[in-house]
Structure formats: C-alpha cells, structure tokens
Amino acid sequence: MDQDPRNTAGRELLEAGSRIIPFCATTPSEEEQNHPKAEISCQVSKENPGKDGVQDSNAFQGSNSSMTTKELQEYWRKEKRQCRQVNLVFEIPSTRIVEHHLSKYVMYKIIILQTGSFDCNKSIIERRYSDFEKLHRKLLEDFSEEMEDVTFPRKTLTGNFTEETINERKLAFKDYLRLLYSMKYIRRSKKFIDFLTRPELEEAYSCLRGGQYTKALEILLEVIGLQERLMRGNPVSVVPTLCAIMVCHKDLENPARAFEYGEKALLHLRVHTSHRYYIPLLETMITLAYELGKDFLALQEKLEEWKAKKHPVKIFTLKELAVREYVQ
C-alpha cells in the first residue's frame, strides 16, 4: 500500500527535529558563562543531556504525531526563536528644539528596541546634549581605560542648531550608545542605566507623591520594560518599580492588577528575604489576597517565619517606601 506523502513528510520533519534539539546546547562564550540569563533566552537542561534529549524527542513525537507538516514547521520556528541572542538597538530618528526664556537646546528622541526576539515593544526617551555630556564624564571616572577610544561630539560655540550639526550629532550619539552598550561592564553599570531610566523614574515618583497615580502608572509602565531588559542579570533591582506600579494600581482600586505585579516582585525576592521591600510587600499581598478571595496562608506563613527570626524593627508600609524613592 502506498504511504500518505503527508505522513511521510511529517515523520521526516520529526526525525529532523530530534536531530536539531542538541544544537541548542552550544558552548557558551565567556560572557554567557558569567551571566547566562542576562544575554541568552534559550535554556537547556545540563543534567544528562543525551538521555533528556531522547526523552524529550520521544515525548514530542508521541504527543504530536497528529500534527500537520505546516504545524510542525511552525513549532520548530518557535523553538529556534527562543535560542536567539537578545540585545538592544538604539535609534535616534528625530529631534526637537526647546526654547525657554533664557535657554535653548536640542532634545534627541531615542528609541530603544530589542533584537533577537519577536517582542515588538520599544522604549522611547528624550535626552539633550548636556545629558550625554554628563554621562560621558561620569563613565570616564570609572571606565577610563574602556573609554580610551570612545569619541564624544564636541560642543561648538556657534552652529549648534543648524540642521547639519543636529544630523551629525544624531548619528554620533547613536554610535556612542551602541558602543557603550557593547561593553559588558559599562552597560551593566548604574551610571549607564540611570542615564536611560532615572529622569522618567524621578518624574513618575514625583507624580506618585502628589497623588497623580494615573500619570505615575503610565510612566512606570513605560520604564519597567526597559529596566527589565537592561537588568536581566540583576532582577532584584526592578523590585522598587514593580512595587510602585503595585501601589498605583492599589490606590486606583484595581487590586487584581496590583496583585499581579506583587507576584512578580515576590518572585524576584524569593531568595532575598532581607530586602527592605520584602516584608512590606508580603503584608500588602496578604491584604490584596484577602480582598480578592485568594488563598493567603502561604504568604502569612512566610511573614510569620520572617518575624520569628528577626528582632522587632520598624517596618514601613509599601506606599511609605515608594514615596521615599528618588527624593532629592
């Protein structure tokens, strides 16, 4: 009896798939070995890879034998996407001239995109020449050797607002950010990350302190995506922003969304129980869980366990901690 060509193609694709799996476990570079989760989104089991690979392949063939060739092709496309390098790309597509009574300057619009994935989210910020200049001076304090060959566009006495000068600086600042991001220690430095996020965070926390929760939330939601991309190797550092988002949702009477961001924050603090946000976060999560009709016993147990180990200390509420962030 003749074989159905679609079944034959499906088997061939499955066999090819079982051969593809091991190639995802490539030898990491030195940087990836130091920070495997910071650069690569592909995760591969390292315990007995040969045996696991066979089991995974057999499990896939058993549970997906009825998939069509088209479906199998799409499956493997998705598998390959997960193993791509993740980086950030900086674009400066436009500028605007700002004029005040005693000053005039150019604001450069910076679009930050993520490559190596199909995440279409992007972050948009604005910085002026003096912001770049301050960043350059600060980085020279800590990374003089790394910055030895990095050129910075000089300020001129005249012609700063001509179209030619502005276009030259757009290209120069784009290359400047790309070069800084290519250096591991610089892109992970607080000074570089602050340049990209701090002005927006300061504005958001100022709105939060003033009771402008909707505006604060809008800014924080823009910033958190960029923070998470920049701080993959240090997820604890985004906890304050997650908690500020949580506070905004809670005060805007959206407990479900507040609880969702609280869960993310707790996940980052699961092995950092001494963190200043840990207990206020637990207490707020218990309150939200009770309000939403969720099981809060596990959260309560964690809270009691912490209190039994620590001496009584003054604990701020989550909102009290949030309003203290970025106070000048």
Domain layout of the chain by residue ranges: 87-188, 200-323
- Which one is predicted more confidently, 247 or 33? 247
CA separation (Å) from 21 to 68, 117, 158, 200, 224? 20, 19, 60, 42, 33
Position 125 scores a pLDDT of: 97
Per-residue pLDDT at 271 exceeds 50:
yes
d(CA 281, CA 286): 9
Q: Which residues contact 13 (CB under 8 A, 6 or more apart)?
A: 69, 72, 73, 76
Position 315 scores a pLDDT of: 82
- Which one is predicted more confidently, 83 or 239? 239
CA separation (Å) from 51 to 55, 56, 58? 6, 9, 11
pTM above 0.95?
no
* Percent of all residues in the chain with a pLDDT value above 70, rounded to a whole number: 71
Per-residue pLDDT at 6 exceeds 50:
no
Mean predicted lDDT score pLDDT of the chain: 81
Residue 22 phi, psi (nearest 5) = -60, -25
Q: Are 187 and 180 in contact (CB under 8 A)?
A: yes
Position 312 scores a pLDDT of: 64
Position 117 scores a pLDDT of: 57
Position 313 scores a pLDDT of: 67
Residue 29 phi, psi (nearest 5) = -70, 175
Q: What is the mean pLDDT of residues 37-44?
A: 37
How many beta carbons lie within 10 A of that of residue 202, not counting itself? 15
CA separation (Å) from 168 to 135, 171, 172? 19, 5, 6
Q: Are 267 and 261 in contact (CB under 8 A)?
A: no
Which two structure tokens, joined as six digits, stand for 154? 């000089």
d(CA 38, CA 227): 13
Each residue's pLDDT tens digit, 281-317: 999 999 999 999 999 999 999 999 988 887 666 789 9
CATH code for the part of the protein at 87-188: 3.30.1520.10
168 pLDDT tier (thresholds 50, 70, 90): very high
Q: What is the mean pLDDT of residues 65-82?
A: 58
Give the lowest-confidence range in 24-28, 45-49, 58-62, 274-278.
24-28
264 pLDDT tier (thresholds 50, 70, 90): very high
53 pLDDT tier (thresholds 50, 70, 90): very low
Per-residue pLDDT at 34 exceeds 50:
no
Position 68 scores a pLDDT of: 65
CATH code for the part of the protein at 200-323: 1.25.40.10
CA separation (Å) from 171 to 89, 95, 98, 166? 13, 12, 20, 9
Per-residue pLDDT at 84 exceeds 70:
no
Each residue's pLDDT tens digit, 245-256: 999 999 999 999
SS3 247: helix
